[in-house]
Structure 1
Amino acid sequence: MMNVERLRTLCMVAELGSLAAAAAALHITPSGVSQQLSRLEKELGITVLERQGRGVRLTDAGTLLAHRGHDILSRLERAESEVASLHGDVVGALRLGAFVSASRTVLPRAVATLRDRYTQLDITLTEGEAEVMIPRVLRRQVDLAVVDNWSTLPMEFPRDVKTDFLHQDVADLALPADHPLAERAVVRLDELSGITWAAWNEGTEFHDWLAQSLRAHGVEPRIDFRVADFATHLEFVRRGLAAALIPRLAGLATPDDVRIVTTEPVLSREVLALSRSDNDRPTVRAGLAALGDAFAEIAPGSTTSPGA
């Protein structure tokens, strides 16, 4: 009989391309991965892995088994979800993931609600952006992830991922109070040429979204200050060093000497909950309900908004 965890290990090596990467994803050592695959080979009487230079590669048999293994693991996950649903007990582990603003402003509320409702539920939270969370959901490392999807840079989600809408958010323009545009009620994006920006690091979704949004209106952004924190962005604005785009979900008070202005067009994003389509356990449904309740409690105007 084939061992499921060894099959899972093989699938992870096939997906990530190395023993070290698979070990990191599975939270075991590379030697532990090697041992799992050696035992799998003994069980099946075939070779699934062979050396290639300094690395390894799957044999034809290993590649075929990994391909079939993804389907086997998905069917097993679905069967376990269906059995768990027969009883409907919300017990065991729920692994949550969320992007920075949500993890700071909304997830503590959702986790507190879950702890109050389900005393036998073990909850963990990992912070990360969509580019990190989507692979973790697919690899079954995270059960439920909260991600954002900007209208000007929409994502395509893998077919094995289910999305549930949670919230609609808006990003406003933060300007130094003495900037010529700061007294305007609305500023068009095509008016923002020649401005220095504070934004996230290059290669992150938020950085790419800001650049794409401005370039779509003929503005090539100069991003001199790359920091993964909206409060720091506002501090650069307060000092007269930059402008920034600040999501209302960040829940930040507007500092003195900063003006928050609406943009034209409005820059919006959907906040979504992601889970594997084959994972419909009671724990996931309970987590989704708690997230929905937590986002529904966000009152209009309770976060950073024009005039705040």
Structure 2
Amino acid sequence: MLDVNRLRLLVELSRRGTLSAVADALSYSKASVSQQLSTLEREVGVPLLRRVGRGVQFTAQGNVLVAQAIGILDRLEQAEVAVAESLTEVTGTVRIAVFQTAAHSLLPPALLALQEQHPSLRVDVAECDPETSLDGVASRDFDLMLAEQYPERTRPINTDLDRVVLTHDAIALARRPGSPPAQNPAAALWSTREEPWVLEPAGTASRAWAEQLCRTAGFEPEVHFEVADLTTHIRLIRAGLAVGLLPELVWAGDAPTVDITGLPGSPRREIFSSARRVSAAAPSIRAVRQALADAAAVILPD
């Protein structure tokens, strides 16, 4: 009988492309991944991979087995969901990947509610960027992820994952307390054209969106600070060292400590969760999603 863990390695190789990427994602050594896949080939009795330069390529039989392995892994997960649904208590472990502002604002009240409502449920949390989180859910490293999507920017669609919108939060221009008022949002944004800016690092969705916003307004932001941590953004802005853009969720329902001005068009960021379709009906995942929705409704009431 074929080993399920080796089948998972084969599926991961089909998704990630290289042995090194599989090893890094699953905390194996590259040699161990190669050895396990060689063992799988011996179990099947035919070559599944062929060497191409420094990489590998699937044989026709390898592609057939990948398709079957995906179905096997899905059916095993469906069996786990069916057992969980037969219980009267929500139990098990849900592994969540979250981005920073969701971890700061939504998680604490949601986790407290889950402790009270479902004491036998365990929730493990890891902070990850949304791109890593999406891959992690698809690869079964996580069961659920929270991600952000900026206006007019889309993330890759994975048909194996669902998508549930949790809430929306406004994005605003943030300046030091006591900044002079502007006639309108467009004038406020234009007034920062010669100011030092703090933005998230290049390559992030928020950075690309912020730069495009400024370019549409007619200027290139003078980025003096590239920082992923939004708490640092707040401190730099509050000290008068920079201006920036902050999402409403960063305040976790508290009053802002910097000057906040709306932006042209009143843009809002979408917060959503994704789970594998085969496991989305699990009582544990439904419970976590409900707790997060309840927390969002309190922090960002419509």
Q: TM-score, normalised by structure 1?
A: 0.86
Deviates more, 1:24-33 or 1:91-100: 24-33
Alignment gaps of 5+ in structure 1: 302-308
Structure 1 contact 185–262 (Cα < 8 Å) conserved: no
Structure 1 contact 185–261 (Cα < 8 Å) conserved: no
Does structure 1 residue 84 correspond to structure 2 residue 105?
A: no
- Distance in 2, matches of 1:293 and 1:176, equals 32
Count of aligned pairs: 297
Partner of 1:183: 181
- Distance in 1, matches of 2:236 and 2:255, equals 15
Once the two structures are superposed, the pairs formed by residues 252-267 of structure 1 within 5 Å of their partners are 254-255=256-257, 258-267=258-267
Distance 1:154-1:218 versus aligned 2 partners, 3 A rule: farther
Partner of 1:285: 286
Partner of 1:305: none
- Distance in 1, matches of 2:59 and 2:31, equals 19
- Distance in 2, matches of 1:294 and 1:275, equals 19
Deviation at 1:227, TM superposition (A): 0.3
Distance 1:217-1:72 versus aligned 2 partners, 3 A rule: farther
Partner of 1:212: 212
Local SS of the residue matching 1:162:
coil
Letter in 1 for 2:166: L
Structure 1 contact 197–242 (Cα < 8 Å) conserved: yes
Deviates more, 1:169-178 or 1:50-59: 50-59
Structure 2 contact 249–300 (Cα < 8 Å) conserved: no
Distance 1:67-1:221 versus aligned 2 partners, 3 A rule: farther
- Distance in 2, matches of 1:288 and 1:88, equals 18
Deviates more, 1:188-197 or 1:222-231: 188-197
Local SS of the residue matching 1:264:
coil
Structure 2 contact 193–222 (Cα < 8 Å) conserved: no
Local SS of the residue matching 1:271:
strand
Structure 2 contact 48–60 (Cα < 8 Å) conserved: yes
Deviation at 1:124, TM superposition (A): 0.5
Alignment gaps of 5+ in structure 2: none
Q: TM-score, normalised by structure 2?
A: 0.88
Local SS of the residue matching 2:149:
strand
Distance 1:119-1:35 versus aligned 2 partners, 3 A rule: farther
Deviation per residue, 1:37-83 (Å, 9 max, x gap): 12211221112234344443333322332234323323432343234
- Distance in 1, matches of 2:196 and 2:152, equals 21
Once the two structures are superposed, the pairs formed by residues 219-238 of structure 1 within 5 Å of their partners are 219-238=219-238
Deviation at 1:254, TM superposition (A): 4.1
Deviation at 1:109, TM superposition (A): 1.8
- Distance in 2, matches of 1:185 and 1:288, equals 41
Does structure 1 residue 198 correspond to structure 2 residue 198?
A: yes
- Distance in 2, matches of 1:77 and 1:98, equals 22
Structure 1 contact 146–271 (Cα < 8 Å) conserved: yes
Letter in 2 for 1:188: A
Letter in 2 for 1:10: L
